[in-house]
Copies of this chain bind each other. A is one copy, B any other.
Amino acid sequence: MKTPTVSQIGEDALVSEILASLPGGPRVRVAAGDDCAVIGAAEDARWTLLKTDCVIEGVHFTPETAPERIGRKALGRALSDIAAMGGTPAEALITLGLPGATEVEKVRGIYAGLAETARQFDVAIVGGETARTPGPLFLSVALTGWVNAGRCILRSGGRPGDGLYVTGVLGGSLAAHHLEFTPRLEEGQWLAKKEIPRCMMDLSDGLGSDLPRLARACGCGFALDRAALPCRAGSDGAAAVSDGEDYELLFAVPETRAAELETAWPARFPEVRLSRIGQLTDRETETLAHGFDHFAQP
């Protein structure tokens, strides 16, 4: 008898089941399930963040995508996860799966995009490998980063009544934003330093998938103020909830810090919109249209 396929049970269910079976260790503070893993011994002044992220031709970019933009996106996605912990990125390794017929010029372009993005965010590219694949081109980026001990912002920790905030604008990202976004590293580090958010994550699968994940990690429900959703020009609220690939920060703030945040943010980040889009609640009050699930059946 055939067992179900990953399309049939979906990514979230599959990942949750697997995570329970993985071996941990004494230095592991956060394992799978947050934006990054967090590693730190009791005596460490800094904790290490670890992240891997993969992009695949035909899924995350097309054969026509400019190679430099492929490299930029691949590293940018992992940087966005470091940002979501309030961390600073450090070293990257690149795994490039290449069909043998790939033009060398395309490989050079991908690496040029990687190297330029790495320089922009002060990341060292310290290795990786190329492997031949009979399938589509893919890049897997492994990225390290760090936070001061105890100073990373997890997905858990928010409480009922906390205000929900999101950076930037949402929706319509597939037109160009998904290849051009700036990971919110400065913003994440500033928020962590000020210790304003109780919890934080980055929006990659869309608010409709990611907000329920954040609330669930907090043991909360949520109320979304749809009229407050910051929509990209040409997008509407439905797109802001469902499109995905926003690479913005979503975080929850206690009422006691909300006024301070709303005053300090525009002074520090005048070009990055900040929107209060709802709050965490003590029970789930609505179901959102789903964001992107890689394995959802059509």
Contacts and interface: CB of A to CB of B under 8 A. Distances in A.
Contact of A91 (B6, B37, B90, B132): B37
Contact of A135 (B28, B56, B108, B142): B56
Contacts of A3: 103-105
Nearest to A53: B129
A119 B25 CA distance: 10
Contact of A142 (B23, B100, B142): B142
A70 B24 CA distance: 21
Interface in A9-44: 9, 11, 14-15, 17-18, 21-25, 27-28, 30-33, 36-37, 39
Contacts of A105: 3
A93 interface: yes
A111 interface: yes
A4 B102 CA distance: 8
A134 interface: yes
A266 interface: no
Contacts of A98: 6, 295
Nearest to A28: B124
A2 interface: yes
